[in-house]
Structure 1
Amino acid sequence: MKKIAIVIITFIGVFNTSYAQETEEVFSLEEFLAMVKKYHPIVAQADLEITAAEAKLLKSRGAFDPTLTGSMKEKNFKETEYYSLWKGSFKIPTWYGIDLKAGYEQNEGYYLNPEHTTPENGIWSAGVSISLAKGLLYNDRMNALRQAKILQKKTLVQRDIMVASIIAEAAQTYADWLYYFQNKTVIEEFLENAKIRYEGVAKSSRLGETPAIDTVETKITVRKRELELKQAELKLQKAKLKLSNYLWIDNIPLELEDRLQPMADVINFKDVLEIEQLLGNANDLTNHPKLRSLGYDLDSYNLDVKLKQNNLLPTINLEYNFLSPEIDETNYISTDNYKAGLKVKLPLFLRKERGDLKLAKAKRDQAEYKIKQSRWKLTNKVKATEQEIFSLQEQLQITNDIVSDSEVMVAAEKRLFEVGESSIFYINTRENKLIDAILKKNKIANELNTAITKLYESLRIN
C-alpha cells in the first residue's frame, strides 16, 4: 500500500512537470546572439564610428575639390572713380604639389595702380603653380587623404573588435544563466524526491513501521533542500537580469520572460561560436583584428614620418601664367605674354622640422614594439585558454563518470532500504553526494563554456 501511494504521488509530480514544460519556450544561444548582433546599442555605436570615419574621408577629399573664386573692389569719391577691380579664378588641385589655374581680370580707374592695368576688355590667364621641392611628391593634403583611408579601415576592424567583445560578454551571461538554471532544476528534482520520501516515511511512522526519528531526518532534508532551492532561484534571477542587459529591440531594453528557458541539453558553445576547427591551431594570429588595428596605427605613423621628412626640403614655389586679352584667338597662348613668380624659403637650422621628424619616428618605433608585444601576449593567452579548454573537457568527462557511479550507488542504497538493510540516513548521504557530483559537473561545464567564450574573445572572431 505504501509503494502504491508513492507511485501515485510520483506520477502526479511528473504530470505537473510535463504540463509546466509545455508552457515554456526554449531561448537558444543562437537566437540570443543574433538579437545581440542586430539590436545591441554598442553595435549601433560601432556603426556610427564607421559613419564618422567615412565623413572624415569625405572631408579630406575636399582638399582636391576644384574651386571657383571671385572678388570685386571699387572706390568712387567726389564723382571720381578711383579704381574698379574685378577678378575671378578657377583652380584644380592635383594629387602632387601642382595646381592648375585659370582666371580673368578687368581693372580700371583714375588712380589705378599701374601693375593692375589691364586691356579695356580685361585679360585672361591660364597657368600652373608648382611646389618644386617641399610638397611636390608628398604634402599635407595627400597625407590627410591617406590618413583618412587608414582610419576608415581601422574603424572597420575596431567595429569587429567591439562586436566580438559584446558577443563574448553576452555568451558568458548565457552560460551563467544556463548554469544556474541547471542547478535550480537539480535542486527541484531532488526536493521533490525528498518530499515524496518524507510523505512515505511519515505515513509509515504513523503506522508504526518505521522509527519516528526517520520522519525528523527526512523533514530536515526537505527543509534543507527548500533552502537550497531558494538560494538557487535567487542566483538564477540575478543571472536572468544580467542576461536582460543584452536584450534590445529598436533601442528599447527588454527583460527576459520567466517562460523562457535555456537550451540545456544539446547546446555546444564551440559550435555556436565557431571555434571547434581552431582549437589547437590558433597560433597564427597574422590576421587578428587587434594586430591589424595596431598595424594601421603603424601605417599612419609611417605616413607622418614621410611627411616630416618632406618638410626638411626647402620651399620652392613656382607660378607661371599665360596672359591673353582674347581667348578665342588662335594664338591666344603666347610665351611673350606671361606672369610668373618664384618663392624660396629655407630655415637655416631646421630645428622645428628635425624635432618633428624625431617625434614621428619615436611614435613609429613605439608602435612596432607594441605590435610585437601584443602578438606575443595574444599567442600566450590563446595557448593558455586552449589548455584550459582541453583540461576542462577531461574534467567534465571524469565528473560525468562520477555522476553515473553515484546514481548507481543511490539506486543500490534504495534497494537495500526496501529490504531493510539500510536507513534513511544512508539514502540521504548517498543522495547528497550525488547532488554534489551533479552540481560539480554543472560548474565544470560552466567553466568550460566560459573558457570557450574567452577563446572567442581572444581570437576576435565574427
Structure 2
Amino acid sequence: MKPTIIAFFLLFFAESMLAQTLDSVLTLQQFLSNIKQEHPVARNAELLLRQAEAQVRQARGAFDPKLFSDWQQKSFDGKRYYRTGEMGAKVTTQWGMEFKASYTNASGSFLNPEELLPDPGQAVLGLSIPLLNGLFFDANRAGLNSATLDRDGLDADRRGLLNDLLLQAGITYLNWTIAYNQLQVTEQAYQLSLTRFRGIRESYFVGDKPAVDTIETFTQVQNWQLELNDALTVYRNASLGMRALRWNNGRPTPADSPWNWQPERLNQAVQLPAMPIDSFTQGLELQHPDLRALRVDLRQLDVERKLAAEQFKPRLDFSYNLLGRGFDFSPATKENPTLTLTEALGTNFKLGLNFSFPLLLRKERGKMELIQIKQLQTGNKFDQKRIEIENKLRSYFNDYENTRQQIQRYQVLVRNLQALLQAEQRKLEAGESSIFLINSREQKLIETQLKFNKLQGEFAKNLLSVYWAAGRLPLLF
C-alpha cells in the first residue's frame, strides 16, 4: 500500500471516529445537583421526611377528641322493655388526664333501677386521672415520643441514601471525566504521530529521509490508532453511565439520545475544601447517618425502658363525674337555694377508684430485662460502627494525602519529560538523533500524561470518598 493511500485512510478513519459536537460543559456541581433533585433514589429519600411527619401526626391522633354514641332498645310482645342512649365526647390529654362530656336518657317499663334517670335525661361532666401507673408516662406519650424520634431516624436514613447516591454519581462523573481526558490525550498523540508521518513521508520522497523512518513513524501511527479505539470505547461506555444517572422530570435520559456534554477540566472537577482529618472526626457521631440512626435507636429504647419502668407501679385510677338534671348541674333546692362549690360538687356525682397490681411482676421484669439487653447490644453496635467508620475515614484520607503528594511529583516528572523531548527534537534537527529516539521520548511522555490523568481522577475520588465516609456529601451538593 502506498504511503499516500495509507495516510488518507488513517486521516478519514480518525475524523469519522472523533467527530463530536460538544455544546457545553457539565460540571460536577450541576450533575450532582440534578441527581439530588431528580433521581428516583433521591426522590424516595425526600419522601422519608413526609413519612416521618405522617407518623408523628398518627401518634398525635391518640390525643384527638373523640365523639361517641351508644343507643339500645328492646321490645317484646308489644311491650317496650327499655330504650337507652348516650352520646358525648372524650378528650385525652398529654398529661394522662381524660375529660368527658356526655348526655344520657333512658325510658321503658323494665329498666334496671340503677339506670333510672330524671325525666329530661342526664348530662355528665367527667374527669379520669391515673394516680400512679400512667401519671407521668403512658403508652400514648411513649408512642408520640417514639414517632418524634423516628422523624430523626428517617432523616438520618434520608441522609444515608443521598450520601451513597452522591458518591456513586460522583465516581461515575469522574470516570467519565477521566475517560474524556484520556481520549483527548490519545487523540493528540495520534494526530501528532500522523503529522510526523506525513512530514517524514515528504522527506522520504525528496530523498532526505530513509525508507525505514517512514516505517518507524507509520508503526507509531498504528499503535496510537489502537490506543485511540480503546479510549473511545471507554469514553462511550462512561457516557452511558452518565445517561443512566441523569434524570429530567422523573424520566431517565434515553441511551440512544445525543450526549452533547463535556466535563470540566480534570483538575477542577472536585473543588471541595481540603480540611485536616480532625475536622472530619470531630462531630462524627452527630453527622454520620449510620451513627445518627443508631443514636436514635438508643433513644427509642430509652423510651421503651421508661414505659416498662412505669409498669412496676400499681394501677390506681380515679374518676369523678358531675351529674346533672337534664343539662342543669345546679343542685339547689327550695330548702337550700344557695350552695357552695364544694357542696355542689359533693351532691350529685359518681365517684370511682380502680386498683390493680400484679404480685410477681414476671411480665414486667422480663420486659425490662429484654430492653436492657437490647440497649447493651445497640450500644456495642454503636461503638463498633463508630470505629469502623473512623477507620474507613482515615483510610480514605490517607489515600487522599498520598495522591495529593503523587500529583506534585508527577507535575515535575511531566515537565522534565517535556524538556527531554524538546531537547531530543533539537538534536534531531541537528542530525544527532533519530526518529526512534523521538518516538521513545514521546511515548514515555504521553504514557506519563495518561497516568497523571488517572492520578488526578483518583485524587478527586479519594476526596469525595473522605466526605462520603464522614457522611457530609448531602451537605455539599
TM-score, normalised with respect to structure 2:
0.88
Task: Spell out, residue by residue over 1:27-62, the C-alpha distance to the aligned partner (whole angstroms, 9 max, x if none).
Answer: 111211221122111111011111111111111101
Query: SS at the partner of 1:313?
Result: coil
Q: Percent identity?
A: 30
Alignment of 1:19-168 (within 5 A): 24-168=23-167
* Displacement of 1:24: 3.4
Counterparts of 2:426 and 2:259, CA distance in 1: 38
Counterparts of 1:241 and 1:441, CA distance in 2: 24
* Displacement of 1:283: 2.0
Counterparts of 1:283 and 1:381, CA distance in 2: 11
Counterparts of 2:373 and 2:169, CA distance in 1: 39
1:315 is matched with 315
1:5 is matched with none
CA RMSD of aligned residues (A): 2.4
Quick check: 2:52–2:150 contact (8 Å CA) kept in 1?
yes
Query: SS at the partner of 1:172?
Result: helix
Quick check: 1:323–1:334 contact (8 Å CA) kept in 2?
no
Among residues 384, 387, 405, which one is paired with 1:394 in the alignment? 405
Task: Spell out, residue by residue over 1:396-422, the C-alpha distance to the aligned partner (whole angstroms, 9 max, x if none).
Answer: 111111111111111111222222211
2:396 is matched with 385
Counterparts of 2:209 and 2:34, CA distance in 1: 57
Alignment of 1:233-312 (within 5 A): 233-254=232-253, 257-264=258-265, 267-269=268-270, 271=271, 274-277=272-275, 281-284=279-282, 285-290=284-289, 291-312=291-312
Task: Spell out, residue by residue over 1:377-410, the C-alpha distance to the aligned partner (whole angstroms, 9 max, x if none).
Answer: 2222222222221111110111111111111111
Listed as ranges, the gaps of 5+ residues in structure 1 are 1-8
* Displacement of 1:299: 0.8
* Displacement of 1:455: 0.7
Counterparts of 2:21 and 2:237, CA distance in 1: 25
* Displacement of 1:156: 2.0
Quick check: 2:26–2:262 contact (8 Å CA) kept in 1?
yes
* Displacement of 1:202: 2.1
Quick check: 1:158–1:289 contact (8 Å CA) kept in 2?
no
1:353 is matched with 364
1:228 is matched with 227
1:206 is matched with 205
Quick check: 2:22–2:262 contact (8 Å CA) kept in 1?
no
1:4 is matched with none
Quick check: 2:298–2:378 contact (8 Å CA) kept in 1?
yes
Quick check: 1:88–1:103 contact (8 Å CA) kept in 2?
yes
Quick check: 1:33–1:170 contact (8 Å CA) kept in 2?
yes
Query: SS at the partner of 2:170?
Result: helix
Task: Spell out, residue by residue over 1:425-451, the C-alpha distance to the aligned partner (whole angstroms, 9 max, x if none).
Answer: 111111111111101111111111110
1:6 is matched with none
1:216 is matched with 215
Query: SS at the partner of 2:281?
Result: coil
**Corresponding letter in the other structure for 1:352:** K
* Displacement of 1:22: 8.3
* Displacement of 1:189: 0.3
**Corresponding letter in the other structure for 2:169:** A
* Displacement of 1:296: 1.4
1:456 is matched with 467
Counterparts of 1:286 and 1:202, CA distance in 2: 68
**1:134 and 1:31, CA in 2 relative to 1: closer, same or farther beyond 3 A?**
same
Counterparts of 2:239 and 2:110, CA distance in 1: 86
Task: Spell out, residue by residue over 1:287-319, the C-alpha distance to the aligned partner (whole angstroms, 9 max, x if none).
Answer: 223222221111111001111111222222232
**1:218 and 1:258, CA in 2 relative to 1: closer, same or farther beyond 3 A?**
farther
Number of equivalences: 447
1:423 is matched with 434
Counterparts of 1:369 and 1:406, CA distance in 2: 55
* Displacement of 1:345: 2.3
Counterparts of 2:225 and 2:72, CA distance in 1: 94
* Displacement of 1:265: 5.4
Counterparts of 2:91 and 2:67, CA distance in 1: 9
**Corresponding letter in the other structure for 1:57:** V
* Displacement of 1:278: 5.2
**Corresponding letter in the other structure for 2:120:** N
Query: SS at the partner of 1:33?
Result: helix
Task: Spell out, residue by residue over 1:83-127, the C-alpha distance to the aligned partner (whole angstroms, 9 max, x if none).
Answer: 001111321111132211122211111111122111111122212
2:176 is matched with 177
Listed as ranges, the gaps of 5+ residues in structure 2 are 1-7, 333-343
| Structure 1 runs, 4 residues or longer, greater than 3 Å off | 19-24, 255-258, 277-280, 326-334
Deviates more, 1:135-144 or 1:21-30: 21-30
**Corresponding letter in the other structure for 1:68:** L
Counterpart check, 1:440 vs 2:440: no
Counterparts of 1:265 and 1:47, CA distance in 2: 31
Deviates more, 1:402-411 or 1:368-377: 368-377
**Corresponding letter in the other structure for 2:263:** P
Query: SS at the partner of 1:282?
Result: helix
Task: Spell out, residue by residue over 1:54-84, the C-alpha distance to the aligned partner (whole angstroms, 9 max, x if none).
Answer: 1111111010011111111111223211100
Query: SS at the partner of 1:245?
Result: helix
